[in-house]
Chains A and B, each alone.
Chain A
């Protein structure tokens, strides 16, 4: 019997599917916080989410007949729901609305690891030369230079700025090695957004989001978003690029033990390059998150 999620986690908006990939009139089932949920879209294209009873993946359904619904939001191309009382609005990504950007979902990929471990991997630059060899990094250029981290109380998010790294092929549109600058936001315990220098336009930034759906404490689904300034590549190319990157992360994440993120500072060995991860762990602790983590013994 899985333990009930903490109140904070229970009341969060959680991503559950790429809206466009939900077939109208067909049921899709998935797990959220150990509960089976079912999703579909009505004839109007709006997603409907409910706690599943005996529905199976692929069943035909008329969304109108679902009366006991969970709350739903659609944002950034994804469908979000909440199992408790949704208190806050979903975090903003203002760039998503800019007219000349190519916005796309890049797939929903299951991972046998807790959602916070996946967030932490997304924040990490040190693994680029080893895991994303010759794409996001390459030996011998392995240094993670000093960067700034703060927890913004006003926006209730972790913010890492001035993150720099030498990358051989930073984006689909990159032609050679360049030092890229990243800004990372963690605006939601299981979501992160990064802004990186755009090879095509120096004044703007590409936006990549990772939204984790905590299925159980030790498994999750990663939903990827790209919002790019790229006038040359096709959406398929851009998706493939992101999926290649994620395909490299997945086996590493699945070999991490324990699978839940340990919040006790003495459970692992941090270095200066892990400043953002340390801030993230502390922020989760302060928020009272216990789902998908090993809380610090009080």
Chain B
């Protein structure tokens, strides 16, 4: 039977022992090279051995624990999803596009790592697998065709006790089970499982001698035959949108169901929610600072930051504030949603990206604003980058995610019950005079954000070193103006009447435009302005960006001039 690139059989591709702490193992199956690595959380990843950016082998990359870092340009790929989380050449940008390496199914069982060319078959252990405490043999590479190697193994059987052929290039010889890993058309690895022996060394030596002799016989025979043509795996093309470098955000609309796996009181006034895939699959890649839209049972949509650390995609953990004056957003979550309920969430979106090229990163959280900063701190922590986290809260009981914060190695300072002026003095002390390659990230109540921005600016911090995220826009939106918008790319001119937003007007005209919070806080509807004067009413853009008059948020901002030309 000739080998096929699309063979769905599960084969062992490595021993568990081949994956020590922070190692990347290079394997091969059916002609395809594989980068195999174990994350710090124990999960094993089997990926195509090729960075999507410039084709460099990922097996020469660096296992950072929860992310794999390419050796060529430092691109980082997340544990489980293989999604790209950071591109160092553009530190201020969230990788806006879904760059994801090709990955293969994986199962760790009986001391072996198993994989397959595709997901067509479920992993099924060989008959009788569960009954024994297995011990893997030392693998034996053989330069011979896999079918010849299998036949050679079968001939090891004594005449009165023939080998028992198992599905998928495997056979049983007495109590030993052998598997042939089809590396390529002319290359194989013999892997075997035996019952845990009393004397491991003597047993291993015995098998090693037998298999070495078999290998020599098989290789001598193979050398006399014409070498089979190697398999020619195809590198799948990247999607057209990845090749053309657009910088458009992922549009809203794609939601996925998640189940509330855990709901708990994280602190006084803060409820934690753990959201997971219903079938136990991993969730999509996110970057530090990212949020998800949560679609609530009462039809409202609210944004919550993901608090997770790198490569932790088994579930998302969010923190929700119990607000007494809540209008029904967090109230519904807190009061009516229970463990086991299913909610719809959007894919993660990042309007608060973390640069990882700072020599010092200051994270300042006020109250529930800890959520995105906890995620950032965990990423910086894992990469051993210099950061400090300052967490301001009214009371000690209000400090959320305490155990997660305790696991960090960096400087984490909690500031409790400070008055407004004292907070300001503390922030000024923490920031200090601006120095090159320093960055500050702030998340908290609106008044605190403004105070930190002002304080930083007075200490010489430039706008592009001050990063902030508002949870909501508290400003009163003035929608009394009326004007025209010309959509340059869509070749369309629309009239925006008083009382209606640009976004609503565009939607009514049949355009699909990305948006999320629709109150000028999240940054999703960011649009390039080509002509006209903008009446900024959002809290997303910084002063420099607003003054540049080159971009705007179409959900709340309007025109001072009679006409705006937008790049839509």
User: What B residues does A264 contact at CB under 8 A?
Assistant: 237
Contacts A252-B56, A256-B56 given; indicate if A139 touches B90 (C-beta within 8 A).
no
Q: Which residue of chain A has its CB nearest to the CB of B88?
A: A142
Q: What secondary structure prevails in chain A residues at the interface with B?
A: loop
Q: Does B52 contact A (CB under 8 A)?
A: yes
B358 touches A140 (CB 8 A): yes
B74 touches A139 (CB 8 A): yes
Q: How far, in whole Å, are A124 and B72 apart by their CA atoms in the complex? A: 10
Q: Which of A123-158 contact B (CB under 8 A)?
A: 124-127, 129-131, 139-144
B90 touches A273 (CB 8 A): yes
Q: Does A162 contact B (CB under 8 A)?
A: no
- What's the minimum C-beta distance from B73 to chain A, rounded to whole angstroms? 5
- What's the minimum C-beta distance from A140 to chain B, rounded to whole angstroms? 4
Q: Does B476 contact A (CB under 8 A)?
A: no
User: What A residues does B53 contact at CB under 8 A?
Assistant: 268-271
Give the residue of B55, B239, B437 whose beta carbon is less than 8 angstroms from that of A268. Answer: B55
Q: How far, in whole Å, are A125 and B88 apart by their CA atoms in the complex? A: 11
A258 touches B55 (CB 8 A): yes
Q: Which of B1-55 contact A (CB under 8 A)?
A: 33, 49-50, 52-55
B357 touches A130 (CB 8 A): no
A271 touches B52 (CB 8 A): no
- What's the minimum C-beta distance from A51 to chain B, rounded to whole angstroms? 31
Binds A, one of B203-211, B242-250, B367-375: B242-250
- What's the minimum C-beta distance from A41 to chain B, rounded to whole angstroms? 39
Q: Does B356 contact A (CB under 8 A)?
A: yes
Q: Which of B448-490 contact A (CB under 8 A)?
A: none
Give the residue of B49, B238, B356 whose beta carbon is less than 8 angstroms from that of A269. Answer: B238
A139 touches B89 (CB 8 A): no
B52 touches A142 (CB 8 A): no
Give the residue of A140, A252, A271 whose beta carbon is less than 8 angstroms from that of B89. Answer: A271
- What's the minimum C-beta distance from B479 to chain A, rounded to whole angstroms? 36
The 11 listed contacts between A and B (C-beta, < 8 Å) are: A139-B357, A140-B357, A251-B60, A252-B71, A252-B72, A264-B237, A266-B242, A269-B243, A271-B245, A272-B90, A273-B90
How many residues on the B side are at the interface (Cβ–Cβ under 8 A)? 36
Q: How far, in whole Å, are A186 and B50 apart by their CA atoms in the complex? A: 27
Most buried by A among B60, B72, B89: B89
User: What A residues does B244 contact at CB under 8 A?
Assistant: 265
B357 touches A141 (CB 8 A): yes
A129 touches B57 (CB 8 A): no
Q: Which residue of chain B has its CB nearest to the CB of A144?
A: B89
Q: Which residue of chain A has its CB nearest to the CB of B241?
A: A266
Q: Does A257 contact B (CB under 8 A)?
A: yes
Q: Does B565 contact A (CB under 8 A)?
A: no
B89 touches A130 (CB 8 A): no
A130 touches B71 (CB 8 A): yes
- What's the minimum C-beta distance from A66 to chain B, rounded to whole angstroms? 39
User: What B residues does A268 contact at CB under 8 A?
Assistant: 52-55, 238
Q: Does B447 contact A (CB under 8 A)?
A: no
Q: Which residue of chain A has its CB nearest to the CB of B57?
A: A255
Q: Does A267 contact B (CB under 8 A)?
A: yes
Q: How far, in whole Å, are A265 and B241 apart by their CA atoms in the complex? A: 10
Give the residue of A144, A251, A256, A269 whose beta carbon is less than 8 angstroms from that of B90. Answer: A144
User: What A residues does B385 contact at CB under 8 A?
Assistant: 140
User: What B residues does A252 contact at CB under 8 A?
Assistant: 56, 60, 71-72
Q: Which of B405-435 contact A (CB under 8 A)?
A: none
B71 touches A269 (CB 8 A): no
How many interface contacts (CB-CB < 8 Å) are there between A and B?
101
Contacts A126-B89, A140-B385, A144-B89 given; indicate if A257 touches B74 (C-beta within 8 A).
no
User: What B residues does A271 contact at CB under 8 A?
Assistant: 53, 87, 89-90, 245
User: What A residues does B242 contact at CB under 8 A?
Assistant: 266, 269
Q: Which residue of chain A has its CB nearest to the CB of B358?
A: A140
B235 touches A267 (CB 8 A): yes
Q: How far, in whole Å, are A282 and B237 apart by their CA atoms in the complex? A: 18
Using a CB–CB cutoff of 8 Å, the interface residues on chain B facing chain A are 33, 49-50, 52-57, 60, 71-74, 87-92, 99, 235, 237-240, 242-245, 356-359, 385, 437
- What's the minimum C-beta distance from A182 to chain B, rounded to whole angstroms? 15
A257 touches B245 (CB 8 A): no
Q: Which residue of chain B has its CB nearest to the CB of A126?
A: B89
Q: How far, in whole Å, are A268 and B65 apart by their CA atoms in the complex? A: 26
User: What B residues does A256 contact at CB under 8 A?
Assistant: 54-57
User: What A residues does B358 contact at CB under 8 A?
Assistant: 140
Most buried by A among B54, B245, B357, B359: B54
Contacts A255-B57, A257-B57, A258-B235 given; indicate if A126 touches B245 (C-beta within 8 A).
no
- What's the minimum C-beta distance from B59 to chain A, rounded to whole angstroms? 8
- What's the minimum C-beta distance from A176 to chain B, rounded to whole angstroms? 14
- What's the minimum C-beta distance from A120 to chain B, rounded to whole angstroms? 8
Contact with B along A232-273 (1 / 0, CB 8 A): 000000000000000000011001111000101111111111
- What's the minimum C-beta distance from A97 to chain B, rounded to whole angstroms? 36
Q: How far, in whole Å, are A130 and B56 apart by their CA atoms in the complex? A: 13
Most buried by B among A130, A266, A269: A269
- What's the minimum C-beta distance from A80 to chain B, rounded to whole angstroms? 29
User: What A residues does B245 contact at CB under 8 A?
Assistant: 270-272
Give the residue of A142, A144, A266, A272 whose beta carbon is less than 8 angstroms from that of B243. Answer: A266
Q: How far, in whole Å, are A265 and B244 apart by their CA atoms in the complex? A: 8
User: What A residues does B357 contact at CB under 8 A?
Assistant: 139-143
B55 touches A140 (CB 8 A): no
Q: How far, in whole Å, are A92 and B169 apart by their CA atoms in the complex? A: 61
- What's the minimum C-beta distance from A265 to chain B, rounded to whole angstroms? 4
Q: How far, in whole Å, are A266 and B243 apart by their CA atoms in the complex? A: 5
Q: How far, in whole Å, are A125 and B72 apart by their CA atoms in the complex? A: 11
User: What B residues does A266 contact at CB under 8 A?
Assistant: 237-240, 242-243
- What's the minimum C-beta distance from A131 to chain B, rounded to whole angstroms? 7
B52 touches A269 (CB 8 A): yes
Q: How far, in whole Å, are A141 and B89 apart by their CA atoms in the complex? A: 9
User: What B residues does A267 contact at CB under 8 A?
Assistant: 235, 237-238
7 nearest A-B pairs in the assembled complex, by CB-CB distance:
A142-B88, A273-B89, A126-B89, A266-B237, A144-B89, A140-B357, A265-B243
Q: How far, in whole Å, are A262 and B55 apart by their CA atoms in the complex? A: 10
Contact with B along A157-200 (1 / 0, CB 8 A): 00000000000000000000000000000000000000000000
Q: Which residue of chain A has its CB nearest to the CB of B244?
A: A265
B55 touches A257 (CB 8 A): yes
User: What B residues does A255 contact at CB under 8 A?
Assistant: 56-57, 60, 71
- What's the minimum C-beta distance from A162 to chain B, rounded to whole angstroms? 16
User: What A residues does B72 contact at CB under 8 A?
Assistant: 127, 130-131, 252
Q: Which residue of chain A has its CB nearest to the CB of B99?
A: A269
Q: A139-B357, A140-B437 are in contact. List 6 more A-B contacts (CB 8 A).
A: A130-B71, A144-B90, A255-B56, A266-B239, A268-B238, A271-B53
A257 touches B91 (CB 8 A): no
Most buried by A among B53, B72, B87: B72
B356 touches A140 (CB 8 A): yes
- What's the minimum C-beta distance from B235 to chain A, rounded to whole angstroms? 7
Q: How far, in whole Å, are A131 and B62 apart by their CA atoms in the complex? A: 13
B238 touches A141 (CB 8 A): no
- What's the minimum C-beta distance from B230 to chain A, rounded to whole angstroms? 14
Q: Which residue of chain A has its CB nearest to the CB of B237?
A: A266
Q: How far, in whole Å, are A256 and B90 apart by their CA atoms in the complex? A: 22
User: What A residues does B92 contact at CB under 8 A?
Assistant: 143
User: What B residues does A125 contact at CB under 8 A?
Assistant: 89
Q: How far, in whole Å, are A272 and B53 apart by their CA atoms in the complex? A: 12
Q: How far, in whole Å, are A144 and B99 apart by their CA atoms in the complex? A: 19
Q: How far, in whole Å, are A130 and B53 apart by their CA atoms in the complex? A: 15
B73 touches A126 (CB 8 A): yes
User: What B residues does A272 contact at CB under 8 A?
Assistant: 89-90, 245
Q: Which of A104-138 contact B (CB under 8 A)?
A: 120, 124-127, 129-131
User: What B residues does A265 contact at CB under 8 A?
Assistant: 243-244
- What's the minimum C-beta distance from B173 to chain A, rounded to whole angstroms? 38
Q: How far, in whole Å, are A140 and B358 apart by their CA atoms in the complex? A: 6
